[in-house]
Homo-oligomer: A and B are copies of this chain.
């Protein structure tokens, strides 16, 4: 695990050791020229890791399990990557490449971005672990760079600064992740446990003076998206 602050755990965003360079995977070359030919490759590592995550969740992507699925020793992985985070970067970039970028732009930034977001959400649904990858800033690989380029191209007509445009992309992706989360949760998600949770929450709400929560939980109405007013105000 990351020993940056002397402790381990989930992917952290701590202060970097100033002594450490901490280069990205994309900065280091995959192979030198000297030694024997490598048996595997970063692409193979990535494919196996993605497969593993698709089947068993992001937590299943441990160095040992990936190594086993690859048929190699655990320590051997570190010949291809220098940390588990590198592997996450590779995985993220790989699935970013699954978003189709050959769709021609229509010219309206909003419409084009919405279409891109929709295709991105599809990728999230296909790779549920993607919503669980902690959002690290600015760790784009080649595919992610293509993605960003496409999004910025879509926003070309908009009179906004570059920084704002990039923040918009990040924002859009956060929204996509959230949408994907709720969609996954309602679909694949354990109706029994869900109902129990909801019931318990509703009960707690009605018991403790939270009438609006109780009402919202009891509301079985399906809102027709077409009749939702644009500005959310009352009728």
A contact set with B: CB distance below 8 Å:
2, 5, 7-16, 22, 24, 26-27, 56-62, 65, 108-110, 132, 134-135, 137-138, 140, 142, 145-146, 148-149, 152-153, 156-167, 170-171, 174-175, 177-179, 181-182, 185, 190, 193-194, 197-198, 200-201, 204-205, 208, 210-213, 215-219, 221-223, 228-229, 231-235
Please measure, in the bound complex, the distance between the C-alpha atom of A142 and the C-alpha atom of B213, giving whole angstroms. 12
Q: What is the CA–CA distance of A10 and B218 in the complex, to the nearest angstrom?
A: 33
Q: How far is the CA of A219 from the CA of B174 in the complex (A)?
A: 23
Q: Determine if B163 and A171 form an interchain contact, defined as CB atoms under 8 angstroms apart.
A: no
Q: How far is the CA of A26 from the CA of B181 in the complex (A)?
A: 23
Residues of chain B within 8 A (CB-CB) of A200 are 24, 27
Contact A12 B153, CB 8 Å, known A198-B138, A235-B159: no
CA distance A149 to B207 in the complex (A): 13
Least CB distance, A128 to chain B, in whole angstroms: 8
Of A7, A14, A213, most buried by chain B (CB within 10 Å of CB) is: A213
- Bound complex: CA A57 to CA B109 (Å): 38
B145 & A212 in contact (Cβ 8 Å cutoff): no
> Which single member of B62, B164, B213, B233 contacts A9 (CB below 8 Å)?
B62
| 5 A-B contacts (beta carbon < 8 Å) | A10-B59, A24-B200, A158-B234, A159-B234, A167-B182
Within 8 Å CB of A193, what residues of B?
16, 22
Closest 3 CB pairs of A and B: A162-B219, A162-B216, A9-B59
Q: B161 to A223, Cβ gap below 8 A?
A: yes
Residues of B within 8 A of A161 (CB): 219, 221-223
Residues on the B chain within 8 Å of A162, using CB: 215-219, 221
A221 to chain B, nearest CB (A): 4
Asked if B210 and A145 make an inter-chain contact with CB atoms under 8 angstroms apart, the answer reads yes
CA distance A216 to B200 in the complex (A): 49
Q: Which residue of B lies closest to A8 (CB)?
A: B59
Asked if A57 and B132 sit within 8 Å, CB to CB, the answer is: no
Give bound CA distance, A137 to B212, whole Å: 19
CA distance A174 to B179 in the complex (A): 10
